[in-house]
Structure formats: structure tokens, C-alpha cells
Amino acid sequence: MNPRIPRRRSLLLSAAAAGAVIAASVAVVGTAEAASTLGASAAQSGRYFGAAIAAGRLGDSTYTRILTTEFNSVTAENEMKWDATEPQQGRFTYTNGDRILNQGLSNGAKVRGHALLWHAQQPGWAQSLSGTALRNAAINHVTQVATHYRGKIYAWDVVNEAFADGGSGARRDSNLQRTGNDWIEAAFRAARAADPAAKLCYNDYNTDGINAKSTGIYNMVRDFKSRGVPIDCVGFQSHLGTGIDSTYQANLKRFADLGVDVQITELDIEQGGNQANIYGTVTRACLAVSRCTGITVWGIRDTDSWRTGANPLLFDGSGNKKAAYTSVLNALNAGGTTPPVTTPPVTTPPVTPPTTSSPPPAGSGCAATVSLNTWNGGYVASVRVTAGSAAINGWTVRVALPSGGAVTGAWSATNTGTTGTVAFRSVDYNRQVPAGGSTEFGFQGTGAGPAAALVCTAG
Ligand code: XIL
């Protein structure tokens, strides 16, 4: 695949923006020594500095030395994509994704998950699906992968590159888009249900300034926020050419003002006269926007880059620091605004009020309430199990499904049967619920949701 580098004007950020950076840096003078690595200097203002990494390169000692020294966040370059994690439908392979995860976690780094749904790098079986079958497969994929990595991912790119290039500001045509315009919100809701602790991002390219494409995305995010669709962040890939749009920082800021974090997720900049300067400009733009929580470069050395010949990264093929590296480090050490501490979910759940519930437990025993996120042909159900006046040790929730409906997956519970009345039984880690306490499990299904109140039995 070729990188898509748009035509750009070579303009630096305005003097006003530069002034804001200087003013903000005054606030941190005296609070910290200049740090000597990218991760440590970003951490001084509460941010991360990450790299996309490839499992196949982890045996290269120069690569891992730079990785563990310089970066405090990692993204899997390919290993968590749909084709890598679900090569056959319903058969999940996490070996390489887990290697990236463990490389990051064992090094104290954040891990960005990339990417749950995308029109590219789909397994062959998904490429040939359409309609409800594809929608259900896609939501199942989101649920399964986000559940596998539950509690370990800092931020997920839930949906990648769903908007068209050019002046339309519209969605890109794809098999996913043809399942219905609500596919993106269905994916975000399923991701939230599966991993409530991860920040959920929309990620795209050619959004490096205020333009028709970024405005289309801006309008979607504004709509999601107004309707309570769970979205926490927007990723700006920033695969840049030899210039940078003068509205780069203003664009980050307008998204942040919608109440989402922003992140630079795949930064690489074509080598040319301005490479070091543009790296500095992008870094300062992030530092000037308080909700810009971090920057990720898309590879470590120029020879690791997907943009063959562009030499777009911070280290040369021998692992030496380039001028661009120094420019980024100096910008990070100059300091900036500090991101607010936000913990997802930052939107207001639930989107759909509980649709069916059993009465609250009056005495001992338990009750179960369900909240549904539905789409045409399927749903994701989140169930809360609440103990009554006595602690319980094990629970079973029975769910009556309408005829034609079936359960296609469950998390934090094991189900007996998939049609008719389906019993969901507690698993080891959520068996014990203290008096008055509660725990959650979920399932997804085809057809309409539960047809009657859920029945909870303790013991
Ligand atoms: C690229 C990888 O770097 C390549 O190794 C792979 O062959 C194709 O994908 N936008 C994205 C990334 O979101 O996943 C892409 O990564 C680069 C463009």
C-alpha cells in the first residue's frame, strides 16, 4: 500500500500559537530538569511518546534498545488488525498481538490498540461477507478482541479510516459502511461493553488541518457526544509530506473542545529540508492543546518504515538519532499545557435505558438488569447482577429470547444453549458478590433482544 500524502502548503503555525507555547512553558520552569529521552520528556507534561512496533523486529537488539530507552507507549503496527487476529471466522489468534502487548506492559509502557474495524487488512472471509452477516461478524470481532485485551489497553482505535478523501466530508464506501451508517456507533458501543477502561478512539489520515474530511469527522464526533455514543478520543495519523497545514493545531483544538482527547497516532514526515522543523511544529501543537495526550511515531528507524524511501522517522537505519529527534526532544522539554486526568467512560452511559429487569432483590438472592445496544438484526447486551441482603457465591441468569434470536457470544459468563431460554452462569472471578454488591457480564445476539424479564438465581 502506498502512503497517501496530500498536497500541502508549507506554512508554520501562527505567531499567536507559538506565543501560547512560550507562555505555557513558563509555567513549568523550575519544575523539572530537561529529560534525555522522548518518553521521559513527554511524561513531564503528563503525556506519552510512543512508537508503532512489529513483532518480527523484537529480536533486533538495536531496535529493542531504542524502543525500551526512548518510548513509553507502543502500538502494534499490524498484529492487532482483523486479518491478524481472526484469520478464520470465529478462530482468534493473539500470539503476535500478545507479544506487542507484553513488550509494552513489561516495559511500563502504555499500549494503544490498533485497529478493531477498518476497510483494509480484513481477512478474506470478512471481505466476502455483507449485510447482517458482516455486521454481526464485525461486532463479534470488536467484542472478542476488546474482551481478550480487556483492562490492558490504554486506547483502542475502534474504527480506522471510515471517511472519504476529498471535499465531500462523507463516509468512505466500504463493505462495513454498506451494512448501515450506524456501524461506527455499534462498534463503539460494543467496544465499551467489552472493555470499559479503554479510551475509545476514531482514527484517520488526511485530517492534518481544518478541511472537508476532518470536518466530516468533527461532525460525527459532535453527534456522538450529543447522543451519548461512547467516544473518548480522536487519532490523527499525520503521515506528512514536506509541509504542514497552518491549521494543524487549531484542528486538534476544535476536536478537543468537543470533549474528547486527541492523539497523534501514526506520525511520520517525509525527509526533506523541513523534516526536523515540521516534527517540532507537530510536537509543539500537541503540547499546546491540553487534551492532546500523546504522540506516536509510525516506526523507529527509517528502515523500519512502511514508507520506503521517505526516511520519515526519528532514527536513521543504523539507529542514530536524526536532527528530527533533537527537534522533538527540545520541543517536549520546552513543556506545555498539562492534560486533564480523564478516565473512561467519559460519556454518559447507558445510551439505552434498561429495557427489561427483574424486581430488585428484596431479601437474599439476586436480581439482573439488562441494557441493550441494538442495531438492525442484532444487539449487544450488558447485564448487571446485583446481590440482595446476603452475599452470594455463584449466580445464574436465565434469558428468554424471542424465536429466531440466538446468542452469538458471551463474556464474563458461560452460557448453556444459544436459543430459547439461555442460562448464563458466573465464572470464577465474578462468582462471589457481596451483599448489595453487583457485577456485570455481557452477551451479543442476533434478532431482537430478550423477550421477558431476566431471572437471576443465586447459588
Ligand atoms: C501499515 C503498516 O505500517 C504496514 O506494515 C502494512 O503493510 C500496511 O499498514 N494507516 C494505518 C496503519 O492505520 O495501520 C497503516 O499501517 C498505515 C496507514
Global pTM reads: 0.76
Q: Which residue from 57, 75, 78 has its CB within 8 A of the most atoms of ligand 1, so it is best to mutate?
A: 78
Is 266 a catalytic site residue? yes
> What pLDDT is stored for residue 119 in this prediction?
98
Residue nearest (by alpha carbon) to ligand 1 atom 12? 77
The arithmetic mean of pLDDT across residues 152-171, rounded, is 98
Confidence band of 28 (pLDDT split at 50, 70, 90): very low
> Regarding predicted confidence, which is higher, 417 or 342?
417
Q: What's the CA gap between 324 and 275, in Å, rounded?
A: 6
Please tell me the distance between residue 144's alpha carbon and the centre of ligand 1 in angstroms. Answer: 22
Please tell me the distance between residue 78's alpha carbon and the centre of ligand 1 in angstroms. Answer: 7
Q: What's the CA gap between 459 and 457, in Å, rounded?
A: 7
Q: What's the CA gap between 110 and 73, in Å, rounded?
A: 4
Which long-range contacts (C-beta less than 8 Å, at least 24 apart) are formed by 276-280? 276/322, 276/323, 276/324, 276/326, 276/327, 277/12, 277/327, 278/240, 278/242, 278/243, 278/244, 279/314, 279/324, 279/327, 279/328, 279/331, 280/327, 280/328, 280/330, 280/331
Please tell me the distance between residue 77's alpha carbon and the centre of ligand 1 in angstroms. Answer: 6
Model pLDDT for residues 315-348, shown as the tens digit of each residue: 999 999 999 999 999 999 998 888 887 776 544 4
Which residues have C-beta atoms less than 6 Å from ligand 1?
A: 1, 77-78, 115, 160, 237, 266, 306
Atom of ligand 1 nearest to the CA of 205: 10
> What pLDDT is stored for residue 345 in this prediction?
58
pLDDT of 273 strictly over 80: no
On the question of a cis peptide bond just before residue 350, with omega within 30 degrees of 0, the verdict is yes
Q: Which residue from 118, 306, 308 has its CB within 8 A of the most atoms of ligand 1, so it is best to mutate?
A: 306
Least-confidence region, from 98-107, 183-192, 427-436: 427-436
Neighbours of 437 (CB within 10 A): 12
Least-confidence region, from 103-107, 297-301, 437-441: 437-441
The arithmetic mean of pLDDT across residues 337-360, rounded, is 56
Q: What is the residue-averaged pLDDT of the chain?
A: 89
Residue nearest (by alpha carbon) to ligand 1 atom 18? 3
Confidence band of 32 (pLDDT split at 50, 70, 90): low
Q: Which residue from 2, 208, 266 has its CB within 8 A of the most atoms of ligand 1, so it is best to mutate?
A: 266
Is 70 a catalytic site residue? no
Q: What are the E-state strand segments in 16-135?
A: 48-53, 73-76, 110-118
Q: Which helix (H) or strand (E) holds 293?
A: strand 292-297
Q: Please name the residues in contact with 128: beta carbons below 8 A apart, sequence gap of 6 or more.
A: none
pLDDT of 391 strictly over 60: yes
Atom of ligand 1 nearest to the CA of 118: 13
Confidence band of 378 (pLDDT split at 50, 70, 90): confident
> What pLDDT is stored for residue 174 in this prediction?
98
Per the CB < 8 A criterion, the answer to whether 453 and 356 are in contact is yes
> Regarding predicted confidence, which is higher, 377 or 250?
250
Give bridge partners of residue 446 from the DSSP assignment.
378, 406
Atom of ligand 1 nearest to the CA of 305: 3
Please tell me the distance between residue 36's alpha carbon and the centre of ligand 1 in angstroms. Answer: 29
Q: From the candidates 70, 77, 79, 161, which is the catalytic residue? A: 161
> Regarding predicted confidence, which is higher, 434 or 21?
434
The arithmetic mean of pLDDT across residues 284-305, rounded, is 98
Which long-range contacts (C-beta less than 8 Å, at least 24 apart) are formed by 176-180? 176/117, 176/119, 176/134, 176/138, 177/119, 178/130, 178/131, 179/130, 179/131, 179/132, 179/134, 179/135, 179/138, 180/135, 180/375, 180/376
Least-confidence region, from 3-12, 129-138, 158-167, 245-254: 3-12
Q: Burial code of 400-419, b = ≥16 C-beta within 10 A, e = fewer?
A: ebeeebebbbbbbbebeebe
Per the CB < 8 A criterion, the answer to whether 348 and 361 are in contact is no
Q: Which three cell numbers stand for residue 192?
A: 465499551
Q: What's the CA gap between 80 and 76, in Å, rounded?
A: 6
Give bridge partners of residue 411 from the DSSP assignment.
442
pLDDT of 183 strictly over 80: yes
pLDDT of 10 strictly over 50: no
